[in-house]
């Protein structure tokens, strides 16, 4: 196992990504984000974004009033003035329960389907796929219930849904390409990150480019010297532990930058990205990423 590395990410990997659409259009008290984003560049369209989100083992707070807890995968255009997202939140249903709510923000802010309940330990697979000829997006989601859950009305049979999203329905988005993918924890008002780790698996981002550095630099955002040291350590680790998953434990320093309304440092670990280019399309894959908790206890 690697010793902790301390580094400040480049523009391609941030310890935060705020949904500036929400931030700029609404006055939200204590809006906080913990998250990362992955992009091939402001001029490169995302074609497909997949991830499997493991619902945290702990339920949300039992009080929902002025207490918003959420986490979500989503996509944004280059100017970050809108977001297309599959939100898991503690809002809209019974207290102490998680709900999936596909959402478009924020011109207008709009739920895209009726919400559905998800449970701690469930696996939520989200697939966003662009239909290039029409510019519309297919959003499909599948919930695989946790087999350790008991007394569930929906049993253990997978369930889900899907729909087509036309970006023209959002006045800010219109025909802009979506160029960034996000995996984010979002808190509002009195909401706290007190529900444990958030795990993402099988993260796949397909972009309309032959370049691969955007996937490589997702990890290798260090100085040349540290890059060399890291490369040597990685080779040593691979030799000693050839059968073990190579995980980087990154305890990061928050990078200042264009931070509209928040952005907090947090601890996470993730597996090494791999990439593949076929024709004019590059696919980046990250097997696992775990958001462990905020840098400072809340």
Between these two residues, 75 and 13, which has the higher pLDDT value?
75
Number of domains in the chain: 1
Residue 193 domain-assigned (yes or no): yes
pLDDT digits (tens, 9 = 90+) for 198-245: 999 999 999 999 999 888 754 433 334 444 544 454 455 444 444 443
pTM over cut 0.95: no
For residue 25, what are its two tokens? 């259009």
- Is residue 259 predicted with pLDDT exceeding 90? no
Residue 281 domain-assigned (yes or no): yes
Residue 10 domain-assigned (yes or no): no
pLDDT digits (tens, 9 = 90+) for 88-122: 999 988 899 999 999 999 899 999 999 999 999 99
Rounded to an integer, what distance in angstroms lies between the CA atom of residue 115 and that of residue 92? 8
Rounded to an integer, what distance in angstroms lies between the CA atom of residue 102 and that of residue 254? 29
pLDDT of residue 217: 57
- Is residue 59 predicted with pLDDT exceeding 80? yes
Residue 134 domain-assigned (yes or no): yes
pLDDT of residue 232: 53
Residue 11 domain-assigned (yes or no): no
pLDDT of residue 260: 24
Q: Which residues span the domain enclosing 25?
A: 20-294
Residue 3 domain-assigned (yes or no): no
pLDDT digits (tens, 9 = 90+) for 25-52: 456 788 889 988 888 989 999 999 999 9
> Rounded to a whole number, what is the largest CA-CA distance in the chain?
56
pLDDT of residue 267: 86
Residue 204 domain-assigned (yes or no): yes
Rounded to an integer, what distance in angstroms lies between the CA atom of residue 92 and that of residue 64? 9
Using a pLDDT cut of 70, give the percent of the chain over it. Answer: 72
Mean pLDDT of the chain: 78
CA–centroid distance for 174 within its chain: 23
Altogether, the residues listed in the chain come to a count of 298
Residue 59 domain-assigned (yes or no): yes
pLDDT class of 297 with cuts at 50, 70, 90:
low
């Amino acid at each position: 196992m690697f010793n902790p590395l301390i580094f400040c990410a480049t523009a391609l990997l941030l310890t935060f990504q705020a949904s500036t659409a929400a931030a700029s259009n609404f006055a939200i008290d204590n809006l906080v984000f913990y998250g990362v984003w992955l992009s091939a560049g402001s001029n490169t369209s995302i074609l497909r974004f997949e991830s499997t989100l493991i619902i945290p083992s702990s339920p949300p707070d039992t009080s929902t009033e002025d207490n918003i807890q959420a986490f979500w995968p989503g996509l944004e255009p280059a100017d970050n003035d809108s977001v297309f997202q599959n939100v898991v939140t503690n809002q809209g249903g019974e207290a102490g329960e998680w709900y999936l709510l596909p959402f478009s923000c924020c011109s207008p802010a709009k739920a895209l389907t009726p919400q559905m309940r998800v449970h701690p330990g469930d696996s939520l697979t989200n697939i966003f796929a662009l239909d290039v000829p029409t510019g519309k997006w297919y959003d499909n989601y599948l919930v695989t219930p946790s087999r350790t859950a008991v007394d569930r009305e929906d049993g253990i049979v997978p369930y889900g849904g899907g729909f087509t999203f036309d970006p023209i329905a959002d006045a800010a988005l219109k025909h802009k390409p979506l160029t960034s993918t996000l995996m984010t924890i979002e808190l509002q008002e009195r909401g706290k990150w007190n529900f444990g780790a958030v795990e993402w698996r099988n993260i796949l981002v397909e972009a309309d480019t032959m370049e691969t550095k955007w996937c490589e630099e997702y990890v290798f955002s260090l100085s040349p010297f540290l890059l060399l040291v890291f490369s040597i350590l990685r080779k040593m680790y691979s030799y000693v532990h050839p059968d073990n998953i190579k995980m980087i434990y990154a305890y990061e320093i928050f990078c200042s930058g264009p931070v509209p309304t928040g952005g907090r440092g947090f601890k996470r670990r993730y597996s090494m990205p791999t990439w593949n280019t076929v024709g004019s399309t590059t696919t980046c894959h990250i097997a696992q990423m775990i958001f462990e908790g905020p840098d400072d206890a809340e």
